[in-house]
Amino acid sequence: MTTDSPAKKRLFLRSWGCQMNVYDSARMADVLAPLGYAPVDAPEGADMIILNTCHIREKATEKLFSELGRLRQLKQAKEAEGGEMVLAVAGCVAQAEGAEITARAPYVDIVLGPQSYHKLPEMVARAGRTGRAVVETDFPVEEKFDFLPENSAPQGVTAFLTIQEGCDKFCSFCVVPYTRGAEYSRSAEAVLAEARKLVGQGAREITLLGQNVNAWHGAPPEGGQGWHAEGLAGLLRALAEIPGLARLRYTTSHPRDMDAALIAAHRDIPAVMPFLHLPVQSGSDRVLEAMNRGHTAAEYLELVDRLRAARPDLALSTDIIVGHPGETEADHEATMALIRRVKFAQAFSFKYSPRPGTPAAGAPHRVDEATKDRRLQEVQALLRDQQAEFNASLTGQTVPVLFTGPGRQPGQLSGRTPWLQPVHVPGPLSLTGQIAPVFIRAGNPNSLAGELAQQEKTAA
């Protein structure tokens, strides 16, 4: 590797957790670019390493400390050669465990919570000057978006855009309200401006992000034409008018904030894709209540019916937790019954993991590990079957696919369906960024295989 230009510094970023961390990592790279940092894809020899962490489950935290142990050796090796490496821990573990990180890993130079990324350049300078760990874990949430740079590296055909952060819902099991702070929505102006920029850089599909994305309540644009003051539904309508933006998605939604306007948006706005991630967590009313989710199983099912009435081809995905304190066999059966009833196209399921400081962590009637394991296996087997069944149901159909880039094999393209399934299709790379009809030959459990439908083949 050549390092002729002294101005070029190598930045290695690693992200765990949700898409919001992926988005934040990209913004950290943007903020450091004017200082001469350019992203590299391996930690060896890097001048700066940022670990963007997740605190959602226990394993995530332990992964951070084992990774830090490995990176310490790289840092020491670099210093032994007279070089320097700035080691930073960002994200939700940084927010929640700032003091523990500096105590357990004193060689870490910077600890910064999710609301402090705009302060990175200043923190890098301070760390260099003082030689001591610099810690920033305040919640000046408005600042972050106001101070992040206008210029950003293009994300590609499919892009993420954070429109909302934080959470006021305080589910019994969850650390997010503590690590990301109170709910905050960016203004419609800011979101629309960023979306236009992403489209200008080649994005055809944008996924709006937020821990509670459908609670978005940002300021509407001044005198904006075609604007309907109806929360996320209004924002989607305004975004759908951006020329060149073909597809819109949003994640993660809470069932409680799924209002009539948003349901109607799935019916009325063609750019809004027929796929919705709507975490339910449990199918038992007792457990839902203990979780402080604010709805019953019947209310969730009714919501699903209304969504499917509005958009009959809507596919649903969800999150399930097994083994929340107090969960009985009957509760578990209720969860299995709800899954059978909804038929999810995709899902994530987890064993309950106690998080320090959350109400459930101190709750009685813990479920033992073996029971949690068994319940998780049952839930996952059912969800796997449902996903396989959904994918298989597309075999023989022709569906619009947005091509995102080269596939794994030469001559192959990768793309995604409206229902977020990955598709592999033989075809020219020139189709990247375009939407074309694809005949699905095989609906496999995790992806689809197809070929360009006849009309496109002759056109291409």
**Contacts with ligand F3S, residue ranges (CB under 6 A):** 17-18, 20-21, 54-56, 91-92, 175-176, 179-180, 211
Choose between 16 and 403: whose C-beta lies nearer to ligand F3S. 16
At which residue do the structure tokens 């002759």 appear?
A: 458
Q: Are strands 48-53 and 86-90 parallel, antiparallel or unpaired?
A: parallel
- What residues are paired with 351 via a beta bridge? 322
- What residues are paired with 451 via a beta bridge? 439
Contacts of 319 (CB under 8 A, 6+ apart): 252, 277, 279, 280, 281, 347, 348, 349, 350
Q: Any idea what DSSP says for residue 368?
A: P
Binding at 353: pick from ligand SF4, ligand F3S, ligand SAH, none (beta carbon under 5-8 Å per type)? ligand SAH
Binding at 170: pick from ligand SF4, ligand F3S, ligand SAH, none (beta carbon under 5-8 Å per type)? ligand SF4
Asked whether position 170 contacts ligand SF4 by CB under 6 A, the answer is yes
Q: How many CB atoms lie within 10 A of CB 167?
A: 24
Choose between 21 and 349: whose C-beta lies nearer to ligand F3S. 21
Choose between 237 and 351: whose C-beta lies nearer to ligand SAH. 351
Asked whether position 171 contacts ligand SF4 by CB under 6 A, the answer is yes
The rounded distance, in Å, linking the Cα atoms of 35 and 37 is: 6
| 182 phi, psi to nearest 5 deg | -70, 160
Q: How far is the CB of 185 from ligand SF4 (least distance, A)?
A: 15
Overall residue count recorded for the chain in this entry: 460
Site for ligand SAH in 53-92 (CB under 6 A): 56-57
Instruction: List the structure tokens of 125.
Output: 């300078």
Binding at 110: pick from ligand SAH, ligand SF4, ligand F3S, none (beta carbon under 5-8 Å per type)? none
Q: Choose the stretch contacting ligand SAH; rule: CB under 6 A; options: 35-43, 172-180, 181-189, 263-271.
A: 172-180
| 38 phi, psi to nearest 5 deg | -125, 135
Choose between 179 and 432: whose C-beta lies nearer to ligand F3S. 179
Q: List the one residue from 113, 177, 231, 407 that touches ligand SF4 (CB under 6 A).
A: 177
Q: List the one residue from 355, 372, 375, 416 that touches ligand SAH (CB under 6 A).
A: 355
At which residue do the structure tokens 């105590």 appear?
A: 103
Q: Are strands 398-406 and 48-53 parallel, antiparallel or unpaired?
A: unpaired
* Residue 119 and residue 94 in contact, taking contact as beta carbons nearer than 8 Å: no
Binding at 177: pick from ligand SAH, ligand F3S, ligand SF4, none (beta carbon under 5-8 Å per type)? ligand SF4
Site for ligand SF4 in 195-234 (CB under 6 A): 211-212
Q: How far is the CB of 56 from ligand F3S (least distance, A)?
A: 4
Q: How far is the CB of 388 from ligand SF4 (least distance, A)?
A: 27
Choose between 242 and 320: whose C-beta lies nearer to ligand SAH. 320
Contacts of 40 (CB under 8 A, 6+ apart): 10, 11, 12, 46
Binding at 113: pick from ligand SAH, ligand F3S, ligand SF4, none (beta carbon under 5-8 Å per type)? none
Q: How far is the CB of 291 from ligand SF4 (least distance, A)?
A: 8
At which residue do the structure tokens 């009325």 appear?
A: 268
Q: How many CB atoms lie within 10 A of CB 393?
A: 13
Q: Which helix (H) or strand (E) holds 373?
A: helix 369-392
Site for ligand SAH in 237-256 (CB under 6 A): 252, 254
| 188 phi, psi to nearest 5 deg | -60, -40
Q: How many CB atoms lie within 10 A of CB 182?
A: 11
The rounded distance, in Å, linking the Cα atoms of 401 and 423 is: 8
Q: How many CB atoms lie within 10 A of CB 266?
A: 21
Site for ligand SF4 in 384-413 (CB under 6 A): none
Asked whether position 277 contacts ligand SF4 by CB under 6 A, the answer is no
Binding at 57: pick from ligand F3S, ligand SF4, ligand SAH, none (beta carbon under 5-8 Å per type)? ligand SAH
How many chain residues touch ligand SF4 (CB under 6 A)?
A: 10
Q: Are strands 158-162 and 134-136 parallel, antiparallel or unpaired?
A: unpaired
Asked whether position 169 contacts ligand SF4 by CB under 6 A, the answer is yes
Binding at 15: pick from ligand F3S, ligand SF4, ligand SAH, none (beta carbon under 5-8 Å per type)? none
What are the distances in angstroms from CA 223 to CA 62, 75, 171, 348? 50, 53, 37, 41
Site for ligand SAH in 197-236 (CB under 6 A): 211-212
The residue ranges that bind ligand SAH (CB under 6 A) are 56-57, 173-174, 176, 211-212, 252, 254, 279, 281, 319, 321, 350, 352-353, 355
The residue ranges that bind ligand SF4 (CB under 6 A) are 167, 169-171, 174, 176-177, 211-212, 254
